């Protein structure tokens, strides 16, 4: 199968790649473009560690053929990290130790970012519901849920 | 004093925290190098078989195929991870030679320009296997006529001349004879996969001067380096291992599985080589927590005292020993539980079967013992008609007691922990239970029980001397005494 040129927006900048059809967005990000914040945990859509935002919606990049993101807006963790400091979600994960080994963290933070964009003050059950597709093997999830709650609280009280 | 402490009692930001929340932390598989080859493994599709032939002819024609490695390419193909601490014999094959002993055992390593080409070439390797009967149960594996898994003719690992790790303390038969009740039960557990989010993997990179840098997510960097040096028969100074960032391990990454063959591949090709498990490899092939069978026979008095305990344990090591003999030794030291029992007999077997090799996982050797022993304690309580707390208080060990493996108890906190737990769950203790401490039974000094305000008497031999040296479980005391 001949390779195709795919153009899309990556973290606010234009991107253009040459890839064989059915190459995953995950593979393009990590292996062609060097955006390695997006992790590989299972490559079968089962763990959420490769979650990125496509037009603002969280998606497992390991299941997304690159040709399907043509013309769309892709955001990775690199794209939400400010030049100086951290995003409110990142700061809350850091302050609340919403991570241990750090491997699921990028996916969790992308999910949290999308959630708070959609719903700036989610209830705890809504946070738990939103995290349903992302697995963490270290924390037992409570510190992650706490961090997202704290990020929402910080945003609503204008702390950051 | 506390104002001199800069870390204890304070929240300190983790040094890797910003890296983790920004995704800038580099995990092993986040590295990439020009010309990097991909290694994929041809694995046994069956649990036990003789290898009659391996046909690479079709695989070699896959576009992107670079080369294959078989056992003939491995300088020291038969090794034992714990050989570094004197465990014998060498028994695990880096690449299978004439026999496969578990499903997923590596046989041929395929190197290709892309991962897709490597996978395609793997699928084109033809194996001629003669399947053998397999055994998956620890006691069946020890029975006469069982299929023999090892290459030396026995399915039991030998501990200093015995087919089990043994502990003998007092006279267990005399204890059973005097007991009011005999409580007997068997406890089984399944293998458990650690399932870290980051699959096991490494990248080996040739450097100038015949050296190799290996980016790895091992939990045991120097163990991996030393075993790789042995397997490749090169001096350790030619190997530079870069690690410390592990995307979850839980014991699942202490074995030396990917580094030797990836480094060998880098040597043979003079190219960087990436060898990272797929999720299915992580689940099927990487070491698990052992399956256990634990038989406990206790002689018990009506007041709840255990007067004799006999434990016969079997850990399923799978096809190779890895860290399991070490687990059995830890197990044997803990198999009577944190209880003072005058007569104890422990036989702990490390058994080879055709399951995936098992190894370390969080407290391995002790975790399943604790499960079995604590369920057993509840059963004892039920049998003698006492509440489970009482049975544990009655039997709790104290400082100065001698454990069955002849270790003097120095740091008992069982009683104090149970008292704290009772407070947390709102359980009423008796005045007697409330007044108990881990202090030695004869009233002399013992190890640091952490009981606030307890007087530390001197002059009671070794245990008392140690108390003075280590303080009573508080950094402050040690510092104040300096």
What is the C-alpha to C-alpha distance for residues B451 and B453, in angstroms, rounded to an integer? Answer: 6
Q: What is the CATH number of the domain that holds B239?
A: 3.90.1170.50
Domain assignment present for B8 = no
Q: pLDDT digits over A118-147, tens only? A: 999 999 999 999 999 999 999 999 999 999
Please identify, among B284, B317, B336, the residue that sits at the C-terminal boundary of a domain: B284
pLDDT of residue B11: 83
Model's pTM, two decimal places?
0.91
Q: Are residues B210 and B100 in the same domain?
A: yes
Please, which residues bridge with residue B212 across strands?
Answer: B206, B239
Tell me, yes or no, whether B120 and B169 share the same domain: no
Verify that B65 and B176 share a domain, yes or no.
Answer: no
pLDDT tens, residue by residue, B17-70: 999 999 999 999 999 999 999 999 999 999 999 999 999 999 999 999 999 999
Q: Kindly give, in sequence order, each residue whose CB lies less than 8 Å from that of residue B286, ignoring residues fewer than 6 positions away.
A: B193, B194, B200, B252, B255, B257, B277, B356
Mean pLDDT of A52-75: 98
Could you give the ipTM of this predicted complex? 0.96
Q: Are B196 and B253 in contact (CB under 8 A)?
A: yes
Interatomic CA distance for residues B329 and B38, integer angstroms: 39
User: Based on the domain organization, do B117 and B164 belong to the same domain?
Assistant: no
Together in a domain, B180 and B295: yes
Q: Kindly state whether residue B222 falls inside one of the protein's structural domains.
A: yes
Chain segment B72-88, per-residue pLDDT in tens: 999 999 999 999 999 99
Going by pLDDT thresholds of 50, 70 and 90, the confidence category of residue A158 is low
Measure Cα distances from B353 to B103, B152, B294, B364, B460 in Å.
Answer: 11, 14, 17, 18, 49
pLDDT value for B308: 98
Asked if residue B473 and residue B416 are part of one domain, the reply reads: yes
Q: pLDDT tens digits, residue range B268-291?
A: 999 999 999 999 999 999 999 999
Segments making up each domain of chain A, as ranges: 4-80, 88-156
The set of long-range contacts for A81-86, using a CB threshold of 8 Å and a minimum separation of 24, is: A81/B22, A81/B23, A86/B18, A86/B21, A86/B22
Indicate the number of domains in chain B: 3
Question: Which residues from A are below 8 Å from B194, CB to CB?
Answer: 137
Confidence label for B462 from pLDDT (cuts 50, 70 and 90): very low
Checking if the pLDDT of B447 tops 60, the result is no
pLDDT at residue B135 in the model: 98
Which residues in chain B have Cβ-Cβ distances shorter than 8 Å to A101?
Answer: 196-198, 246-249
Model pLDDT for residues B187-204, shown as the tens digit of each residue: 999 999 999 999 999 999
The helix-helix angle for A105-118 and A142-156 (nearest 10°) equals 40
Residue that finishes a domain, picked among B340, B369, B384: B384
| Residue B479 in this model has a pLDDT that exceeds 60 | no
- As a whole number, mean pLDDT of residues B159-167 equals 96
**Residue B23: inside a domain, yes or no?**
no
Query: Which of B235, B264, B284 is at the close of a domain?
Result: B284
> A–B: how many Cβ contacts below 8 A?
88
A44 touches B: beta carbon within 8 Å: yes
Residue B106, burial from CB neighbour count under 10 angstroms (0-12, 13-18, 19+): buried
Residue A156's SS3 state is helix
pLDDT at B453 over 80: no
Please choose, from the candidates A71, A85, A58, the residue with its C-alpha nearest in 3D space to the C-alpha of residue A10: A71
- The answer to whether B25 and B245 are in contact (CB under 8 A) is yes
Q: Do A137 and B199 touch (CB under 8 A)?
A: no
Residue B4 has pLDDT above 90, yes or no: no
CATH topology of domain A4-80: Ubiquitin-like (UB roll) (3.10.20)
Q: Are B197 and A101 within 8 A, CB to CB?
A: yes
Contact A105, A41 (CB under 8 A): no
The answer for residues whose C-beta is within 8 angstroms of residue B393's C-beta and 6 or more apart is B415, B418, B433, B436
Confidence of residue A78 (pLDDT cuts 50, 70, 90): very high
Whether residue B5 has pLDDT greater than 50:
yes
What is the percent of chain B where pLDDT is above 90? 88
Residue B464 has pLDDT above 60, yes or no: no
Q: In terms of residue numbers, what domain contains B432?
A: 408-480
Query: B467 with B324, same domain?
Result: no
Q: What is the fold, at CATH topology level, of the domain defined by A88-156?
A: DNA polymerase; domain 1 (1.10.150)
Residue B107 pLDDT: 98
Chain A contact for B6, CB < 8 A? no
> Is the model's pLDDT at B8 over the cut of 90?
no
Residue with tokens 């496509």: A54
Q: Residue B374 pLDDT > 80, yes or no?
A: yes
The answer, for A38 touching chain B at a CB cutoff of 8 Å, is yes
Q: Does the beta carbon of B14 lie under 8 angstroms from any beta carbon of chain A?
A: yes
Least Cα separation, residue A85 to chain B (angstroms): 9
- Give the model's pLDDT for residue B463: 33
- Answer yes or no: do B317 and B342 share one domain: yes
| Per-residue model confidence as pLDDT tens digits over B414-446 | 999 999 999 999 999 999 999 999 999 987 554
Q: What is the mean pLDDT of residues B206-224?
A: 97
The mean per-residue pLDDT over the stretch B145-165 comes to 95
Q: What percent of chain A has pLDDT over 90?
A: 94
Chain B positions in Cβ-Cβ contact with residue A78 (cut-off 8 Å): 23
Does residue B180 sit in the same domain as residue B265?
no
- Mean per-residue pLDDT of chain B: 91
Secondary structure class of B75 (helix, strand, coil):
coil
Shared domain for B70 and B89, answered yes or no, is yes
pLDDT at residue number B29: 97
**CA closest to A95 among chain B residues:** B13
A-chain residues near B245 (CB < 8 A)? 102
Lowest mean pLDDT among A103-107, B355-359, B458-462: B458-462
């Amino acid at each position: 199968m001949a390779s195709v040129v795919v153009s899309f927006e990556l973290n606010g900048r234009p991107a253009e790649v040459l890839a064989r059809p059915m190459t995953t967005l995950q593979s393009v990000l990590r292996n062609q473009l060097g955006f390695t914040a997006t992790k590989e945990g299972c490559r079968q859509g089962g763990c959420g560690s490769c979650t990125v935002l496509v037009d603002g919606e969280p998606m497992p990049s390991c299941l997304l053929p690159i040709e399907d993101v043509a013309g769309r807006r892709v955001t990775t963790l690199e794209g939400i990290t400010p030049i100086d400091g951290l995003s409110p979600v990142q700061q809350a994960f850091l302050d609340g130790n919403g991570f241990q080994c750090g491997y699921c963290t990028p996916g969790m933070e992308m999910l949290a970012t999308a959630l708070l964009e959609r719903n700036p003050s989610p209830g705890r059950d809504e946070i738990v519901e939103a995290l349903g597709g992302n697995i963490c093997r270290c924390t037992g999830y409570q510190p992650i849920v706490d961090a997202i709650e704290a990020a929402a609280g910080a945003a609503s009280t204008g702390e950051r | 004093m506390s104002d001199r402490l800069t870390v204890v009692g304070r929240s300190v930001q983790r040094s890797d925290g910003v890296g983790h929340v920004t995704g800038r932390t580099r995990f092993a598989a986040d590295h990439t190098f020009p010309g990097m080859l991909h290694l994929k493994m041809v694995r046994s599709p069956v649990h036990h078989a003789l290898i009659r032939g391996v046909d690479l002819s079709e695989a070699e024609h896959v576009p992107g195929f670079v080369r294959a490695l078989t056992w003939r390419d491995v300088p020291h193909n038969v090794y034992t991870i714990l050989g570094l601490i004197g465990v014998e014999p060498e028994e695990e094959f880096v690449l299978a030679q004439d026999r496969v002993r578990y499903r997923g055992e590596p046989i041929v390593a395929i190197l290709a320009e892309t991962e897709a080409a490597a996978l395609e070439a793997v699928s084109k390797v033809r194996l001629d296997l003669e399947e053998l009967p397999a055994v998956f149960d620890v006691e069946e594996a020890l029975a006469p006529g069982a299929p023999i898994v090892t290459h030396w003719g026995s399915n039991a690992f030998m501990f200093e001349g015995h087919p089990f790790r043994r502990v003998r303390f007092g006279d267990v038969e005399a204890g059973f004879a005097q007991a009011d009740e005999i409580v007997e039960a068997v406890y089984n557990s399944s293998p458990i996969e650690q399932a870290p989010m980051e699959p096991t993997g490494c990248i080996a990179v040739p450097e100038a001067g015949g050296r190799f840098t290996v980016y790895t997510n091992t939990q045991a960097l120097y163990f991996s380096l030393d075993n790789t040096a042995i397997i490749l028969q090169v001096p350790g100074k030619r190997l530079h291992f870069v690690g410390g960032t592990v995307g979850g391990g839980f014991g699942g990454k202490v074995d030396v599985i990917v580094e030797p063959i990836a480094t060998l591949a880098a040597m043979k090709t003079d190219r960087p080589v990436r060898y990272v498990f797929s999720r299915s490899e992580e689940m099927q092939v990487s070491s698990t927590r052992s399956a256990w069978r634990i038989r406990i026979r206790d002689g018990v008095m009506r007041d709840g005292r255990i007067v004799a305990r006999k434990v016969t344990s079997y850990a399923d090591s799978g096809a190779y020993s890895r860290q399991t003999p070490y687990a059995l030794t830890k197990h044997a030291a803990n198999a009577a539980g944190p209880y003072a029992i005058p007569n104890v007999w422990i036989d702990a077997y490390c058994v080879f079967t055709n399951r995936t090799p098992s190894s370390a996982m969080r407290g391995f050797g002790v975790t399943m013992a604790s499960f079995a022993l604590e369920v057993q304690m509840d059963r004892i309580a039920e049998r003698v008609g006492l509440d489970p707390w009482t049975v544990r208080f009655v039997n709790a060990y104290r400082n100065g007691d001698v454990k069955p493996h002849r270790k003097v108890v120095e740091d008992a906190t069982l009683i104090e922990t149970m008292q704290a737990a009772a407070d947390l769950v709102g359980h009423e203790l008796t005045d007697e239970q409330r007044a108990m401490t881990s202090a030695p039974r004869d009233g002399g000094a013992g190890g640091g029980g952490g009981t606030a305000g307890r007087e530390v008497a001197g002059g009671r031999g070794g245990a008392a001397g140690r108390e003075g040296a280590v303080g009573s479980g508080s950094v402050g005391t040690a510092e104040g005494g300096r």
